[in-house]
């Protein structure tokens, strides 16, 4: 039942349309920014004095307009493409693309990017676009499969000549990606690849990089090494890093104790928006280190996890690197004098080669290739030989 007389139409618009237009305006004015959660059905009921059915209908309209992405059990979040969609309908874009003559437009769909990982990728793509008199359009998916599918659809409607895709993590790859394969549309994946499916990719040689990092820890005398990562489900980059670590252990005739590993850290995943998740991950790391005092080194799958290790170690009074060595993938710090030892991926080259490969597919039958680039070991102040007590 609607209250305060708000169930009545104002002019010719029913209440759910009024709520839709109000929220739409807040999104276009950036009051709700990309990736932010908007009010829930219950919160909208309180704000506008309407029933749950009315607020639900308004949110559905926003989702249908691709302004928000709805995640069951978590809420509704502003889509990265919301601002553009609100101003110009997708079907208007192909005409704009065609006016550019022979200049090609490549779309990038990426989960997220920051100085930790992703910015250098885009620098490489932008460099390749200028060298080839082409253009790059960037859209984030925040690791949300539904938003990834919507973004791919919109870029195709825009009339892009090819796509570069950093796919969302998940058990299955997007149906839109599989459609691209079937239709032989020019696209290249970065960071990971599709198992058993003919699609080109450009990424780091994750097996080689993880193997080299583990060898370095062995050289320092470490044997009780923990690996820290998000869940590896269908994420080939993480799976290959695990393969590299296991290969190094086999190479040195050592047994792996996977009880020392943690593959349940979720706060660094691009589709996790809750700051409390990081607090919980740090607490889990504290408990893990307390439970396994024999650990002398931790190999973090990414830089932000390494930062959480520093925080957890501090809570336990452990010194880095005296009591605990830490190594990870990537770092925003400069090569010289960096704090955390890491395997630095050649993001610039990955991005540049991905862009050039998509361009090379234009007008040709897409040839399938998997390009692997080496990572470099950058020694920082977070690793040291095992302490002799």
State whether 215 and 332 are in the same domain. Answer: yes
pLDDT, tens digit, 9 for 90 and up, residues 321-371: 999 999 999 998 877 778 999 999 999 999 999 999 999 988 766 678 889
Residue 7 belongs to some domain of the structure: no
State whether 76 and 96 are in the same domain. Answer: no
Q: How confident is the model at residue 233 (pLDDT cuts 50, 70, 90)?
A: low
* Residue closest to 169 by CA, chosen among 266, 81, 74: 266
Q: What's the rounded mean pLDDT across residues 215-231?
A: 95
Mean pLDDT score of the chain, rounded to an integer? 84
pLDDT, tens digit, 9 for 90 and up, residues 109-125: 998 888 778 899 999 99
State whether 330 and 359 are in the same domain. Answer: no
- What is the pLDDT, as a whole number, of residue 296? 97
Residue 334 belongs to some domain of the structure: yes
Lowest-confidence segment of 219-228, 292-301, 310-319, 326-335 by average pLDDT: 326-335
Residue 386 belongs to some domain of the structure: no
State whether 332 and 283 are in the same domain. Answer: yes
Could you give phi then psi for residue 31, rounded to 5 degrees? -70, -35
State whether 251 and 127 are in the same domain. Answer: no
pLDDT at 106 over 50: yes
Residue 112 belongs to some domain of the structure: yes
State whether 100 and 180 are in the same domain. Answer: yes
pTM: 0.71
State whether 212 and 340 are in the same domain. Answer: yes
Residue 122 belongs to some domain of the structure: yes
SS3 of 193-239: CCCCCCCEEEEECHHHHHHHHHHHHHHCCCCCEEEECCCCCCCHHHH
State whether 64 and 138 are in the same domain. Answer: no
CA dist 378 and 335 (Å) reads 7
Residue 195 belongs to some domain of the structure: yes
State whether 285 and 338 are in the same domain. Answer: yes
pLDDT, tens digit, 9 for 90 and up, residues 77-102: 887 654 434 433 333 333 333 334 46
- What is the pLDDT, as a whole number, of residue 86? 40
Q: Regarding predicted confidence, which is higher, 48 or 235? A: 48
Q: What's the rounded mean pLDDT across residues 49-59?
A: 85
Q: What's the rounded mean pLDDT across residues 74-78?
A: 79
pLDDT at 8 over 60: no
Question: Sign (positive/negative) of CA torsion 114, 301, 127, 179?
Answer: negative
Q: How confident is the model at residue 232 (pLDDT cuts 50, 70, 90)?
A: low
Q: Which CATH number characterizes residue 120's domain?
A: 3.40.50.2300
Count Cβ atoms within 10 A of the Cβ of residue 186 and give its class: 0-12 exposed, 13-18 middle, 19 or more buried.
buried
Residues spanned by the domain of 147: 88-203+347-373
CA dist 314 and 299 (Å) reads 17
CA dist 287 and 301 (Å) reads 19
Report the first-to-last Cα separation within the chain, whole angstroms: 72
Q: Regarding predicted confidence, which is higher, 375 or 13? A: 375
- For residue 258, what are its two tokens? 């996977």
Q: Which CATH number characterizes residue 62's domain?
A: 1.10.10.10
State whether 122 and 224 are in the same domain. Answer: no
Cα distances from 283 to residues 28, 264, 290, 308, in angstroms, run 38, 13, 11, 9
pLDDT, tens digit, 9 for 90 and up, residues 275-289: 889 999 999 999 999
| Cβ pair 298, 325 in contact under 8 A | yes
Q: Regarding predicted confidence, which is higher, 58 or 321? A: 321
State whether 104 and 114 are in the same domain. Answer: yes
State whether 361 and 325 are in the same domain. Answer: no
Number of compact structural domains in the chain: 3
Residue 249 belongs to some domain of the structure: yes
| Cβ pair 265, 328 in contact under 8 A | no
Q: What's the rounded mean pLDDT across residues 200-212?
A: 95
């Amino acid at each position: 039942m609607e209250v305060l007389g708000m169930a009545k139409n104002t002019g010719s618009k029913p209440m759910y349309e009024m709520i839709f237009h109000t929220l739409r305006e807040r999104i276009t004015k950036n009051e709700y920014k990309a990736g932010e959660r908007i009010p829930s059905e219950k919160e909208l009921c309180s704000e506008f004095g309407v029933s749950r059915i009315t607020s639900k209908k308004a949110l559905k309209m926003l989702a249908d307009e691709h302004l928000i992405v709805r995640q069951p059990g978590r809420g509704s979040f502003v889509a990265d493409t919301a601002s553009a969609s609100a101003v110009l309908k997708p079907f208007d874009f192909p005409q704009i693309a065609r006016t550019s003559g022979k200049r090609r437009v490549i779309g990038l769909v990426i989960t997220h990017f920051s100085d930790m990982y992703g910015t250098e990728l885009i620098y490489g793509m932008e460099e390749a676009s200028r060298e080839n008199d082409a253009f790059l359009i960037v859209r984030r998916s925040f690791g949300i499969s539904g938003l990834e599918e919507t973004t791919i659809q919109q870029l195709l409607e825009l009339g892009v000549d090819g796509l570069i895709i950093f796919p969302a993590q998940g058990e299955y790859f997007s149906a839109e990606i599989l459609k691209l394969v079937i239709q032989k549309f020019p696209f290249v994946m970065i960071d990971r690849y599709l198992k058993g499916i003919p699609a080109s990719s450009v990424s780091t040689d994750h097996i080689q990089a993880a193997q080299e990092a583990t060898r370095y820890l062995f050289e320092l005398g470490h044997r009780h090494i923990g690996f820290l990562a998000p869940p590896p489900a269908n994420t080939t980059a993480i799976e290959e890093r695990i393969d590299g670590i296991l290969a190094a252990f086999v190479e040195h005739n050592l047994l792996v104790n996977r009880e020392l590993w943690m593959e349940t850290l979720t706060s660094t995943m691009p589709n996790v928006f809750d700051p409390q998740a990081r607090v919980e991950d740090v607490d889990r790391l504290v408990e893990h280190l307390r439970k396994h005092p024999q650990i002398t080194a931790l190999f973090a799958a990414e830089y932000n996890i390494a930062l959480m290790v520093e925080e957890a170690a501090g809570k336990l009074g452990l010194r880095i690197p005296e009591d605990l060595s830490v190594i990870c993938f990537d770092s925003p710090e400069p090569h010289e004098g960096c704090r955390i030892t890491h395997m630095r991926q050649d993001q610039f080259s990955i991005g540049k080669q991905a862009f050039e490969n998509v361009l090379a597919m234009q007008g040709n039958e897409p040839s399938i290739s998997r390009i692997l680039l080496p990572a470099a070991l950058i020694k920082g102040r977070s690793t040291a030989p095992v302490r002799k007590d």
